[in-house]
Structure 1
Amino acid sequence: MAQHVRDIMTSNPVTVEPRTPVTAVARKMRDEDIGIVLVTEGDELRGLVSDRDLVIRTLAEGGDPEQRTVASVCSGDLFTVTPDDDLDRAVQLMREHSVRRVPVVDHGHAVGIVSLGDLAIERDPGSALGDISAAEPNQ
């Protein structure tokens, strides 16, 4: 059984710069089949944006999505773990802050993402969430 974040995290997260248009981020999510993108400035993690953020903070508010940048819709309150943190630390942060995904940072650089689904597959693969998380995505 995995003990550390590095054992289950998704490595090489997709990143964008703060000035990236939200439409470009949405296309990147579609093309990569992902629900979250990290917002970085240089090598420094500045925020994250989920598919839900795009809907709630862009589409629901109106305006031209071609003109909106990811900086205006991303979540800046970041709760991170390191690759060497115990999985219990990731679970604790997710519970405390009611989040489903946590960026993994090593020496200030984003190196991965650990998700609720990753934890379910590792800790309870026979559960409904573990089963769903392990299944091939539907297109």
Structure 2
Amino acid sequence: MTTAREIMTGGAECVRDYESVLVAAEKMAAHDVGALPICGRDDRLKGMLTDRDIVVKVLGAGHDPAATKAGDLAQGEAVTIGADDDAREILRTMTDHKVRRLPVIDGHTLVGIVAQADVARALPDPQVGELLQAVSTD
């Protein structure tokens, strides 16, 4: 079976928990991505920050993105997948947590991101439909 390591996008860029949301938005634009992992000074994953988080929780709430720290938006423990977990486990994790992107970790080290589209390419058609339905419902 295909593993997360085989289908992920490697070299994920982190936004540091002490960096501003403005810096995060600039990194998202530079890398043409809609989400970034939030990492602490110890390089451990603290959460995920999405472009939607920036719009709704910062701009929509009237906060200054230059003064809001990325770490302020990290909510609880990040949902992750192990680098050697197979595509079915990725599917289960995305479905259970209704997420479209998962940070891939090897031990405590972030090694990449696996997105819904990556899983869709790795799974048979019926399972892809189940994933899309599960993460797209409210």
Same topology, TM > 0.5 = yes
Tell me if the contact between 1:47 and 1:74 (Cα under 8 Å) persists in the aligned partners: yes
Identify unmatched segments of 5+ residues in structure 1: 130-139
Offset at residue 122 of structure 1 (A):
2.5
In structure 2, the partner of 1:36 is 35
SS in 2 for 1:112: strand
Structure 1 residue 31, shift from structure 2 partner:
0.9
Give distance in 1, aligned partners of 2:76 and 2:110: 14
Q: Does 1:54 align with 2:54?
A: yes
Q: Tell me, yes or no, if the aligned pair for 1:58 and 1:73 is still in contact at 8 Å.
A: no
Residue in 2 that maps onto 1:26: 25
Runs of 5+ unmatched residues, structure 2: 130-138
CA distance in 1, matches of 2:105, 2:92: 17
Mapped partners of 1:4, 1:34: distance in 2: 22
4+ residue runs of structure 1 moved beyond 4 angstroms?
A: none
Aligned pair 1:82/2:82, yes or no? yes
Secondary structure of the 2:2 match is coil
Distance of 1:14 and 1:74 partners within structure 2: 16
Give the match's secondary structure for 1:47: strand
Matches of 1:45 and 1:77, distance apart in 2: 9
Question: What's the counterpart of residue 13 of structure 1?
Answer: 12
User: Structure 2 CA distance, aligned partners of 1:82 and 1:100?
Assistant: 16
Partners of 1:121 and 1:53 lie apart in 2 by 27
CA RMSD of aligned residues (A): 1.9
The corresponding residue for 2:95 is 95
Partner of 2:117: 117
Question: Residues of 2 paired with 1:20 and 1:8: CA distance?
Answer: 29
Q: Which residue type is aligned with residue 11 of structure 2?
A: N
| Structure 1 contact 49–75 (Cα < 8 Å) conserved | no
The 3-state SS of whatever aligns with 1:13 is: coil
Q: Is the contact between residue 18 and residue 71 of structure 1 (CA under 8 Å) also seen in structure 2?
A: yes
Does the Cα contact within 8 Å between 2:38 and 2:48 map onto a contact in 1?
yes
